[in-house]
Structure 1
Amino acid sequence: MTEPAPSFELLPGAAESSVLLHVPHSARTIPDDARKGILLDDAALGLELDHITDAHTARLAERAAALAGVTPWRFVNRLSRLVVDPERFPDEREEMLAVGMGAVYTRTTHRGELRPADTDPEPLLARYFRPYARAMTEAVAGRLAATGRAVVIDVHSYPAEPLPYELHSAGPRPPVCLGTDAFHTPPELTEAAREAFAVCGETGLDSPFAGTYVPLEFYGTDARVSALMVEIRRDTYMAEPGGPAGPGLDRLASALASLVDSLEPRA
């Protein structure tokens, strides 16, 4: 019997690297136990995956890591966010829960029914969400122990045109959106990202998506952990929805590598 594919993977970088590239939404894989509660047929599910997946972002992080002078660490989700979304809070404070897109989605990008509204999320949270959160906490703790600091760079993408599920879609949709946090995103990190991604076109802040991902153990309390979300508009590097990557991917990988290099101490 073959072993099931891992639901996430920590890919080691240089021992002296403080940077962790986090890729939570790049995969399309849905294990059988998570597929059982989904109401979409195969064709509809495939289309939903085209819209919801941050396609090619794992490749982007991999290429950037290879180009960087000091190889960053990478934490990559190997399962679709339709299994669980590791960047949601699994409680009623999360605003996306109100539209059926909390840690376990019950609605689609077009606000159709994905799972029954009364789905019990606990089995998926126990099997996938909590182990992921623990592993990310340990990955950040590892960088803190090794270097005294940790920089979490979230690698995401978003569609050129708003999807119905988006709650804050009225603002700008620049080629690169930087999501920030008042506590965990120091001005110098934002400025470094603006400079690195200038070659990719206009860079905006917190529109159409805002915030960063920091494990709860460190969130709002440990300033040694800094974080930035990099949201890349999909038409700049791929055919939408769900199509192949284009030459823009290489330009973005070089820009991300430049950002990584700027965050490491000078020799």
Structure 2
Amino acid sequence: MTSAAPSFELLPGAPASPVILHVPHSARRIPAGARAGIVLDDAALERELDHIVDAHTAELAERAAGLAAVTPWRFVNRLSRLVVDPERFPDEREEMLAAGMGAVYTRTTDRQVLRPAQTDPEPLLARYFRPYARAMTEAVAERLAVAGRAVIVDVHSYPSAVLPYELHGEGPRPPVCLGTDSFHTPPALLAAAREAFGETGVDSPFSGTYVPLEFHGRDPRVAALMVEIRRDTYMTEPGGPAGPGLGRLASALAALVDAVAR
């Protein structure tokens, strides 16, 4: 892919569907201009991508959309989270900022230097982060206007073994971790996910979910759930090919989409 390729895409679903499958961390692509400041050589960067990328989650969402009775919308990041992480808020998440993993990462998964700590994040925020946030906000607003509600299902994966960057990795690591928000995750949404995926845990090793700031903590019509899938259940770690588990998980995600759409 060239640098002219889109940095994110909104892929249409059924007009009346309230569901947006949000896939923020599936890509490996780093445009040449965004590579400036990264101190890793090519081999080390590829190793880091193997660990940090939520591999095959865009394909998972695509398969689930094809299986669902009511096609969900999909908002897919086409750039690596090493460019910007669209799920960080630049003025929040002090804990992650301290770990070098704010909106623009300065540390790797093993806490080595990715970019110098004094790197100015503003060029990357202006070029990539803010347009992404605006587009996601507009996508949610459109679902509210058309469907009367919006349900963001954040599609992620996580490694079977704890990586050094994880701040709360000492807890359970279930096959599927469901991240929740006290305001935006209604009990019915959590119950539907548990029914769809079977063996799940809640808020361990990762918690929370993504809602654009315009709606966060303000609009109860926006529901959200993070689905974190343990990578050994569907792929070869780290960064290897997908296996047959991907199809099973796509069916489960489609079942959740259909339950929510009803």
TM-score, with length taken from structure 2: 0.98
Q: Which runs of 5+ in 1 are unaligned?
A: none
Counterpart code for 1:27 = A
Which residue pairs with 2:214 in the alignment? 217
For the 8 Å contact 1:194–1:203, the answer to whether it is kept is yes
- Give the 5 Å matches for 1:213-252: 213-252=210-249
CA offset at residue 33 of structure 1?
Answer: 1.1
For the 8 Å contact 1:197–1:252, the answer to whether it is kept is yes
User: Which whole-Å CA distance do the structure 1 matches of 2:193 and 2:37 have between them?
Assistant: 40
Which residue pairs with 1:257 in the alignment? 254
Report SS of the residue matched to 2:16: coil
Runs of 4+ in 1 over 6 A off after TM superposition: none
Which residue pairs with 1:131 in the alignment? 131
- Give the 5 Å matches for 1:148-167: 148-167=148-167
Which residue pairs with 2:142 in the alignment? 142
**How far does the alpha carbon of each residue in 1:171-210 deviate from its partner, in whole angstroms, 9 at most, with x for none?**
0000000000000000000000000001xxx200000000
Counterpart code for 2:57 = T
For the 8 Å contact 2:3–2:31, the answer to whether it is kept is no
Counterpart code for 1:115 = R
Which residue pairs with 1:116 in the alignment? 116
CA offset at residue 94 of structure 1?
Answer: 3.1
Q: Which runs of 5+ in 2 are unaligned?
A: none
Report SS of the residue matched to 2:34: helix
For the 8 Å contact 1:19–1:151, the answer to whether it is kept is yes
For the 8 Å contact 2:65–2:254, the answer to whether it is kept is yes
User: Which whole-Å CA distance do the structure 1 matches of 2:93 and 2:252 have between them?
Assistant: 35
User: Which whole-Å CA distance do the structure 1 matches of 2:69 and 2:84 have between them?
Assistant: 34
Report SS of the residue matched to 1:252: helix
Report SS of the residue matched to 2:181: coil
**How far does the alpha carbon of each residue in 1:1-60 deviate from its partner, in whole angstroms, 9 at most, with x for none?**
x77010000000000100000000000000011101100000000000000000000000
For the 8 Å contact 1:180–1:210, the answer to whether it is kept is yes
Residue 40 (1) aligns with residue 40 (2): yes
- Give the 5 Å matches for 1:65-214: 65-91=65-91, 93-198=93-198, 202-214=199-211
Q: How many residues align?
A: 261
For the 8 Å contact 1:88–1:94, the answer to whether it is kept is no
User: Which whole-Å CA distance do the structure 1 matches of 2:92 and 2:24 have between them?
Assistant: 21
**How far does the alpha carbon of each residue in 1:36-94 deviate from its partner, in whole angstroms, 9 at most, with x for none?**
11000000000000000000000000000000000000000000000000000112543
Distance 1:67 1:207, change over 3 A: same
Q: Alignment RMSD, CA only? A: 0.9
For the 8 Å contact 2:93–2:102, the answer to whether it is kept is no
